[in-house]
Copies of this chain bind each other. A is one copy, B any other.
Amino acid sequence: MVNKSALVYDDLMQKIDGEVYKLGTYLPSENQLCELYGISRETGRKALAALAENGYIQKIRGKGSLVIEHRQYEFPVSGIVSYKELAQKLHITTKNVVYDYEPNGTLPVAAFASLGVDLTEAPVTVIKRVRVIDDEPDIIDKDYILKTVVPEVPKRAAEDSLYAYFEDELELEIGYATKEITMEPANAEDRQQLHLDDGAYMAVVRSVTSLTDARAFQFTESRHRADKFRFRDFARRQHNPL
């Protein structure tokens, strides 16, 4: 038996996406959710809080839970979703070309210094991939995976989906990621892999991904063609009541 509030969350989310509950209308009230799903009020409230946090609804006291404009899944996406999951959701045809694979590399620590990484000489598996969308190479992903956590990453996992390998095969639980977006001039490798001219700019997303036990294990540098890059974010205002 799984988590009731997660089931309610998923059901409501799908019904919002499927326009059973339309934009600008209210979800059933909390007491109605109790009857609909056979749950207690606090359980329903957890599902509603998660929907609000992820930008599906706005809770209004005295009125209800209003369905609001939700545009999370555009490409590339905020949050922490695997490339393969994303491509499926968006019905995009992509290709994934592994152009470098080093089972015994070392982590380029300097690149991740600003994310608070203080490792030195860490042994990693290096995977470099080009993402091809509509027959056009748009993104370079360079992944460095700590061998102390994942001793080996088979090449087929790199060609399919790293996340599926980590979560489904190794049963690692991915917890959170910190990412940083900057803009940098294209380097020789960018120009070669993505067929770019001199003077081109890149959107560079560097991220550190950690497991639920807080061990950082994956370091990614994702380099996007500037003209194809789009990042979307939903955020709530923090009201400090002090």
Contact = CB atoms under 8 A, between A and B. Distances in A.
Contact of A183 (B177, B203, B212): B203
A20 interface: no
Contact of A58 (B175, B183, B238, B241): B175
Query: Secondary structure of the A side of the interface?
Result: mixed
Interface residues of A, number: 55
A182 interface: yes
A235 B66 contact: no
Contacts of A229: 181-183
Given A58-B176, A180-B231, A180-B232, A238 B201 contact: no
Contact of A60 (B6, B78, B180, B214): B214
Interface in A25-80: 53, 55, 58, 60, 66, 68-69, 71, 74, 78-80
Identical copies of this chain, number: 2
B180 A183 contact: no
B178 A212 contact: no
Contact of A53 (B53, B115, B237): B53
Contacts of A237: 80, 174-177
B79 A235 contact: yes
A233 interface: yes
A203 B236 CA distance: 22
Given A71-B115, A176-B234, A181-B231, 15 more contacts: A3-B241, A10-B240, A58-B212, A71-B116, A78-B233, A80-B237, A80-B238, A173-B239, A175-B237, A178-B233, A178-B234, A179-B232, A180-B231, A180-B233, A182-B230
Interface of A: 2-3, 6-7, 10, 53, 55, 58, 60, 66, 68-69, 71, 74, 78-81, 114-116, 173-183, 199, 201, 203, 210, 212-214, 226-227, 229-242
